Amino acid sequence: MINILIPLAGKNQFFSEAEYPFPKPLIEFNGKTMIEHIIDNFSTIQKEKQFIFIVNSEDCKKYHLDNVLNILTNQTCKIIKLDNETKGAACSAMMAVEYINNDMPLIISNADQLFNISLDEVINNFGNSDAGVITFESIHPRWSYVRLNKKNKVTETAEKRPISKNAIAGFYYFRKGSDFISSSSKMIKKDASVNGLYYISPVLNEMVLENKIINIFQIANDKYHTFYTPQKIKEYERLMSC
């Protein structure tokens, strides 16, 4: 069994309510809602999967997002409803502590991206590493980054600050979910925030300090599709129509 945690409670920062009245997971393109595309993307993982979603209570009341998630996962997912905003993705993920503070593998993934690769291959590649991230080439400060040693192991991460050309695609693997919980707690105690928010990538710095092994899985940029703006969705639709 592998836990797959997908936070869905973030604001639609680049999506105007006039053009996109529904929450981001319910935005439709290529015949499906975004969350359908994301769940389907994990079908390449052969292990039994437990989906865990962090959602806004308001989205469940107004748009029945919880019903949608239950239908898409055949009533097997865990849903955690938040009444208020948290202090960032790491804090939101820690709301699932009762499900992930254990020795089971954990994936934390963005809710607005697709990979044209086998995610099963990614997990197998990480092997007995304590953690791993998918990376792609970039230098833009919108992303988080890893620094590598000569053995291609992660020695440092930085959020919204380029320290290499190895940007993190929003996919984090932890061999044990409990490592994420303990390292997140240490990060928050140190107040390792960026612009007042706690992100996932700095959690890995705490694992580095404990001599944990963190690997990367580098992919070509054309294998990674992220939908953080409406323009990115339209680009993907054009690509798929060719």
Tell me 200's DSSP state: S
Residue 49 binned pLDDT confidence (cut-offs 50, 70, 90):
very high
- pLDDT tens per residue across span 135-178: 999 999 999 999 999 999 999 999 999 999 999 999 999 999 99
Q: Is the pLDDT of residue 17 over 80?
A: no
Average pLDDT over residues 1-14: 88
Residue 89's pLDDT is what? Answer: 96
Find the helix or strand (DSSP H, E) in which 147 lies.
Answer: strand 144-148
Residue 169's pLDDT is what? Answer: 98
Distance CA 213, CA 225 (A): 27
Report the share of the chain in percent with pLDDT over 90. 92
Distance CA 137, CA 115 (A): 14
The values of phi and psi at residue 91, to 5°, are -65, -40
- Burial (CB < 10 A; 0-12, 13-18, 19+), residue 47, is exposed
Angle between helices 65-72 and 34-41 (to 10 degrees): 30
Domain 2-241 of CATH type 3.90.550.10: yes
Residue 156's pLDDT is what? Answer: 99
Average pLDDT over residues 92-107: 98
Residue 242's pLDDT is what? Answer: 77
**Per-domain residue ranges of the chain:** 2-241
The whole-model pTM stands at 0.96
